[in-house]
Amino acid sequence: MSELAAIVTGANSGIGLPTARELARRGARVTVASRDPERGRAAVEGIRRDVPGADVTFGRLDLADLSSVREFAAGVERVDLLINNAGIGMIPRGETKDGFELQFGTNHLGHFALTGLLLPHLLAAPAPRVVNVASDAHKVGKLDFDDLGLERGYGKMTSYGRSKLANLLFTFELQRRARLAGSALLSVATHPGATATNFFSLGPFQPLLKLFLHSAEDGAVPSLYAATSPLIRGGEYLGPKSKPLRPSKDALDEALAARLWEISTELTGVRFQEFAHN
Q: Name, in order, each residue with C-beta under 8 angstroms of 154's C-beta and a sequence gap of 6 or more.
A: 93, 101
Does the annotation count 225 as an active-site position?
Answer: no
Yes or no: say if 169 and 107 are a contact pair by the CB < 8 Å rule: no
Q: What's the CA angle centered on 176, arms 270 and 168, to 5 degrees?
A: 75
The H-or-E segment that residue 190 falls in is strand 186-190
3-state secondary structure of 83: strand
Q: How many Å apart are CA 151 and CA 60, to the nearest integer? A: 31
Between the CA atoms of 247, 101, 144 and 111, what dihedral angle is there, to the nearest 10 degrees? -40
Q: Which of 102-115 are b and which e, b meaning 16 or more Cβ less than 10 Å from the residue's Cβ? A: bbbbbbbbbbbbbb
Longest distance between any two alpha carbons in the chain, whole Å: 53
3-state secondary structure of 184: coil
- DSSP code of 129? E
The catalytic residue positions are: 160
